[in-house]
C-alpha cells in the first residue's frame, strides 16, 4: 500500500516565513514559523534582506517536515504564497542580490510616481494594469534599484541581473537556481503586466526603463515549475503552485464563482471579489487583479483594502490603554446594544479606497456624557465593518454582481461582535471556515491540483467547511441610520491634514 502523502505550503509573509504540511483532508498536520528582521534605513523606507527571506523559509520547511516526521518522498507537491509587490534584483551567476528587497510598504518612489502622474500617464497605466500609480507596486521599485545601484542598469541590459517578486526569488532558490519564473497573480502586481494580453507590456517596460531580459517567465498559478533541488528539503518534490497571498486566500476560501468574496481581517483588511473570466475595470478606485491562472485560463478579481483594520484594536490596547487585550474589546463591545451614536473613524494614515484621501485623519464623533469604554470598543469594531462594507458596495457597483455571502479569515475574524455587525451591515451571511489558514491552504490547493493530489475544484470545495455563520439579524430600517451616521463621520474626518 502506498504510504500517505502530503502537500507542503510555504507562506512567505511580511514579518515571518511559515511552512504548513497539509493532508488530503486539508488538515494542517505540522507547521513552523520564523520571524525575520525588518529594516527601516530612512523614514518611509522598508527593506528585507533577501537571504533572510530565503534562509528563514528553507529552515521552516525543514522544521515542519521534521515535526511531522516526514521524509521528502512523502511530499507530493510544494505550494508557494508570498507577500506581494516586494521587489528583488540579483545576479544570475553569483546569486547575489544587488540591493535589499524593497518591501511593498516602502514609499521611496512617491515623488517619481507624482512626476509620472503630472505627465498624465496614469489613465493608460490604470487601463493596462488595473492598478494605480503608487509606490506600493513593484515597477517603480525595480526602476529605483536600476537607477541607484552602481552599474545595475548596464548589467541588467546585458542580461546579467534578474528581477523577481518574492515568489520568483524563492522558486529560483528552491530549484537550485534553475527556474526563473513567476505566476500571473504576482506578475499582475508589478505595474508591468498587461491584463488584456496577459503578458509583460513593452510600453510599460519602456516607461519604467526595465529591460525585458531581467524579467521572469510568467506561468500559471497551478503547474509544475520545477523540482526542489536534491540538497534541500523536500528534495525532488515538484513545486506546483504559486499565488500572491491575497489571491491564495481567495482560492483557499474556494471562492471559485463570480460574486464570491473573501475578507481577511488582519492589521489591515484585504477584500477580493471573484469576477470570473473577464477583468472588470473599476470606476470606484478599486484594483483589478488576476485571481489565478490555471490550465491556460485566467480568472480575475476586484480588490480593495482597508489600511487600518485590526490595527484599531491594537491602538485601543497599546496607545489608549483602554483594554488589556483584543478579546477584551469583544467582551466589552458585547455589553452594549450599540455604539450610542458614537463613531470612530480610524483614518490614521489617510483613507484608502474608495475615498483615497491621504489628508484624512482619525476622528471620534458623537461623544456625549454617557459615552464609555464599551462604546469605544464597539465603535472600533464597527469601523472595521463599515470600511469593509464601503469596499463591497463599490465592488457590487463595478461588477454588477450582488454579494451572496462573505467568507472571512485573519486575526480579527475571531471577533464575534465584528462579524455579526458585518453581517447586519451587508445584509448577507458572513461565514468563517474551520480552517482559517486560508492563505497557506490556497497555495496547497493550487499545488495539489497540479500534481493530481486532489482531483478537481469540486473535491476542494468539499474540503472547505463552514465553522460559524453570522446571519444578518437587524433589518434595513435599523441599519440605514447607522450607515448615514458613518458617512457623516467620514466627511468630518476627510481633508483634515493640510498639504504643504
Ligand atoms: P497580520 O497578518 O496582518 O499580522 P493577523 O491576521 O495576525 O494580522 O491579525 C492581527 C489583528 O487581529 C490585530 O490587529 C489584532 O488587533 C486583531 N485581533 C486579534 N484578535 C482579535 C479579537 N479577538 N478581536 C478583535 N481583533 C482581534
Q: Which pLDDT value is given to residue 467?
A: 95
Q: Where are the beta strands (DSSP E) in 245-335?
A: 261-265, 269-276, 287-294, 297-306
User: Does 500 score more than 70 pLDDT?
Assistant: no
Residue 245 near residue 81, CB atoms below 8 Å: yes
Given the C-alpha cell 534553475, which residue does it identify?
A: 178
| CATH number of this structure's domain 6-246 | 3.30.420.40
Comparing 6-246 with 253-433+465-500, is the CATH topology the same? yes
The alpha carbon of 428 and the centre of ligand 1 are apart by a number of angstroms equal to 23
Is the C-beta atom of 67 inside 6 A of ligand 1?
no
Is the C-beta atom of 415 inside 6 A of ligand 1?
yes
Work out the pLDDT band at 201, boundaries 50, 70, 90. Answer: very high
Give tens-digit pLDDT for 393-410. 999 999 999 999 999 999
Residue 218 near residue 186, CB atoms below 8 Å: no
- Over range 300-321, report the average pLDDT: 93
The alpha carbon of 34 and the centre of ligand 1 are apart by a number of angstroms equal to 18
- Over range 303-324, report the average pLDDT: 93
User: Does 483 score more than 70 pLDDT?
Assistant: yes
Question: For the chain, which residues make up each domain, given as ranges?
Answer: 6-246, 253-433+465-500
- Over range 359-363, report the average pLDDT: 91
CA distances from 390 to 265, 352, 358 (A): 15, 11, 17
Work out the pLDDT band at 43, boundaries 50, 70, 90. Answer: confident
Residue 89 near residue 145, CB atoms below 8 Å: yes
> SS3 letters for 189-204?
CCCCEECCCCEECHHH
Work out the pLDDT band at 1, boundaries 50, 70, 90. Answer: very low
The alpha carbon of 389 and the centre of ligand 1 are apart by a number of angstroms equal to 18
Q: Which long-range contacts (CB under 8 A, 24 or more apart) does 36-40 make?
A: 38/103, 39/100
| CATH number of this structure's domain 253-433+465-500 | 3.30.420.40
Residue 260 near residue 407, CB atoms below 8 Å: yes
Is the C-beta atom of 411 inside 6 A of ligand 1?
yes
Q: Which long-range contacts (CB under 8 A, 24 or more apart) does 416-422 make?
A: 416/330, 416/334, 416/470, 417/330, 417/333, 417/334, 417/378, 417/381, 418/265, 418/330, 418/381, 418/384, 418/385, 419/468, 419/470, 420/470, 420/473, 421/381, 421/382, 421/385, 422/385, 422/388, 422/389, 422/470
User: Does 110 score more than 90 pLDDT?
Assistant: no
Residue 248 near residue 81, CB atoms below 8 Å: yes
Give ∠ CA 111-167-388 in degrees, rounded to 5. Answer: 65
Q: Percentage of residues in the chain with pLDDT exceeding 70? A: 99
Is the C-beta atom of 316 inside 6 A of ligand 1?
no
Work out the pLDDT band at 23, boundaries 50, 70, 90. Answer: very high
Give tens-digit pLDDT for 416-435. 999 999 999 999 999 999 98
- Choose one of 18, 248, 313 to mutate for the ligand 1 pocket test, by most ligand atoms within 8 angstroms of C-beta: 313
Q: What is the pTM for the complete model shown?
A: 0.93
The alpha carbon of 144 and the centre of ligand 1 are apart by a number of angstroms equal to 33
Is the C-beta atom of 311 inside 6 A of ligand 1?
yes
Instruction: Give the count of beta carbons closer than 10 Å to the beta carbon of residue 96.
Output: 9
Most confident of the following: 43-47, 232-236, 441-445:
441-445
Q: Helix (H, G, I), strand (E, B), or coil: what is residue 205?
A: helix
User: Does 478 score more than 70 pLDDT?
Assistant: yes
Amino acid at each position: 500500500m502506498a504510504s500517505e502523502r502530503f502537500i507542503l505550503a510555504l507562506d512567505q509573509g511580511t514579518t515571518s516565513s511559515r511552512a504548513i504540511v497539509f493532508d488530503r483532508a486539508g488538515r494542517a498536520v505540522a507547521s513552523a514559523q520564523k520571524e525575520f528582521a525588518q529594516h527601516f534605513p530612512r523614514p518611509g523606507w522598508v527593506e528585507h534582506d533577501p537571504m533572510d527571506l530565503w534562509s528563514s523559509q528553507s529552515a521552516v520547511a525543514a522544521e515542519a517536515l521534521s515535526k511531522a516526521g516526514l521524509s521528502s518522498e512523502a511530499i507530493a507537491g510544494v505550494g508557494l504564497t508570498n507577500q506581494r509587490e516586494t521587489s528583488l534584483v540579483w545576479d544570475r551567476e553569483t546569486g547575489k542580490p544587488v540591493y535589499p528587497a524593497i518591501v511593498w510598504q516602502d514609499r521611496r518612489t512617491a515623488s517619481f510616481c507624482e512626476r509620472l502622474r503630472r505627465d498624465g500617464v496614469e489613465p493608460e497605466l490604470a487601463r493596462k494594469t488595473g492598478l494605480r500609480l503608487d509606490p506600493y507596486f513593484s515597477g517603480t521599485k525595480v526602476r529605483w534599484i536600476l537607477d541607484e545601484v552602481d552599474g545595475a542598469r548596464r548589467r541588467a541590459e546585458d542580461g546579467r541581473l534578474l528581477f523577481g517578486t518574492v515568489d520568483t526569488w524563492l522558486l529560483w532558490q528552491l530549484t537550485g537556481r534553475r527556474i526563473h519564473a513567476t505566476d500571473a497573480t504576482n506578475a499582475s502586481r508589478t505595474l508591468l503586466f498587461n491584463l488584456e494580453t496577459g503578458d509583460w507590456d513593452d510600453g510599460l517596460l519602456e516607461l519604467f526603463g526595465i529591460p525585458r531580459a531581467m524579467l521572469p517567465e510568467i506561468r500559471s498559478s497551478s503547474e509544475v515549475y520545477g523540482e526542489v533541488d536534491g540538497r534541500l528539503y523536500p528534495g525532488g518534490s515538484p513545486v506546483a503552485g504559486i499565488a500572491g497571498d491575497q489571491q491564495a486566500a481567495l482560492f483557499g476560501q474556494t471562492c471559485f464563482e463570480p460574486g464570491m468574496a473573501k475578507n481577511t481581517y488582519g492589521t489591515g483588511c484585504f477584500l477580493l471579489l471573484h469576477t470570473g473570466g473577464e477583468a472588470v475595470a473599476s470606476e470606484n478606485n478599486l484594483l483589478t487583479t488576476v485571481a489565478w491562472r490555471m490550465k491556460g485560463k485566467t480568472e480575475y478579481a476586484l480588490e480593495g483594502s482597508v489600511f487600518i483594520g485590526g490595527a484599531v484594536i491594537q491602538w485601543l490596547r497599546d496607545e489608549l490603554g483602554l483594554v488589556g487585550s483584543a478579546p477584551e474589546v469583544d467582551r466589552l463591545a458585547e455589553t452594549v446594544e450599540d455604539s450610542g451614536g458614537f463613531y470612530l473613524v480610524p483614518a490614521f494614515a489617510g483613507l484608502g479606497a474608495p475615498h483615497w484621501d491621504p489628508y484624512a485623519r482619525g476622528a471620534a464623533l458623537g461623544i456625549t456624557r454617557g459615552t464609555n469604554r464599551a462604546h469605544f470598543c464597539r465603535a472600533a469594531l464597527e469601523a472595521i465593518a463599515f470600511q469593509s462594507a464601503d469596499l463591497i458596495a463599490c465592488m457590487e457597483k463595478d461588477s454588477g454582481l450582488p454579494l451572496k455571502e462573505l467568507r472571512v479569515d485573519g486575526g480579527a475574524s475571531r471577533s464575534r461582535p465584528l462579524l455579526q455587525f458585518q453581517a447586519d451591515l451587508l445584509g448577507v451571511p458572513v461565514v468563517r471556515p474551520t480552517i482559517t489558514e486560508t492563505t497557506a491552504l490556497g497555495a496547497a490547493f493550487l499545488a495539489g491540483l497540479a500534481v493530481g493530489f486532489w482531483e478537481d475544484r469540486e473535491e476542494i470545495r468539499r474540503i472547505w467547511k463552514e465553522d460559524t455563520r453570522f446571519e444578518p439579524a437587524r433589518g434595513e430600517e435599523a441599519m440605514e441610520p447607522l450607515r448615514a451616521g458613518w458617512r457623516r463621520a467620514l466627511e468630518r474626518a476627510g481633508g483634515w491634514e493640510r498639504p504643504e
